[in-house]
Structure formats: C-alpha cells, structure tokens
Amino acid sequence: MSENETTNQNLASRRAVIGGFVGLGVGVPLVAACGSGSEASSGGSGGTTGSGAIGKSSEVPVGGGKIFTSEKVVVTQPTEGDFKAFSAICTHQGCPVSKISGEDIDCTCHGSKFSIKDGSVVHGPATRGLEALKVSVAGGEITVT
C-alpha cells in the first residue's frame, strides 16, 4: 500500500469516527425530545413524590385544572370541591401535557386530549388515559401521592 493510500484511509477512518460522534450528539437530543414512551408505558407517575403540598386549592379553578409542571402532576376540579389528580405525562409518547382548555387536558406534542373528570382519552392518538393519582386537600393545601 502506498503512503497516499494509507493517509487517505486514515483520514476516512477519522471522518467516520467524527461523523459518528457528531451524529450521536445531534440525534440524542432529538430522540429525548420526542420521548420514548417508556415512562408512560411503565405506569410511572413521572416524578411525583408525595413529599408535601404542591399548591393551594384556590389555584385550581372549578370546571378546569392546573398543571404543576415541576411535579409533573395535573390537578383538576370538575365540580366544586371535587379534586382529581393525574400524571402530567401523556400516555401516547411520554410528552408532558401542556395546557387545559375547558374540560380537556391537552398534550400539544401530538394532539391528544384527556378529560378533567377522570383522565380518560377524549381525542387520540393516545389510547390510554392519564394515570390517576391520589389527591387530598386539607387546610387549602393540595397533596398528591
């Protein structure tokens, strides 16, 4: 093998290695952004710890709800004094739900909608409802486990 062939072969190998690292660096954030769905399919609550109050009951409107982003929890109040809690992780592909519109909890990643009453699917592509969590309200403080 000539010296030029050896040099060209070494350059090609370096390019392949560097290209692989660059591709990996770009691909990993894209995969992470879409979510693998493993958290949703495992039945995990997405980070709820049950370690104290997450907010005040006055923050949750009657006939609507509030998303507690850092706790990954949605708390709703379909009728006055009737509080419900759900995982804020969409069961379709693991995206966090992002807003509450009327009586729907919306995942804007792919368009799934869930009921504030029981977390059931109102509109797909999700085929399973949000995971129900235990909620209690005492002294105006909301606790979810």
Q: Where are the domains of the chain?
A: 3-34, 39-144
Whether this model's pTM surpasses 0.85: no
From the first residue on, what is the mean pLDDT of each consecutive set of 10 residues in the chain (145 residues)?
52 47 42 36 40 86 93 94 94 91 90 93 91 93 90
Specify the pLDDT at position 9: 52
Q: What is the per-residue pLDDT across 8-19, written as a single tens digit (0 to 9) for each? A: 554 444 444 444
CATH topology for 39-144 is Rieske Iron-sulfur Protein (2.102.10)
C-beta of residue 95 within 8 angstroms of C-beta of residue 35: yes
- The DSSP string of 2-18 is -HHHHHHHHHHHHHHHH
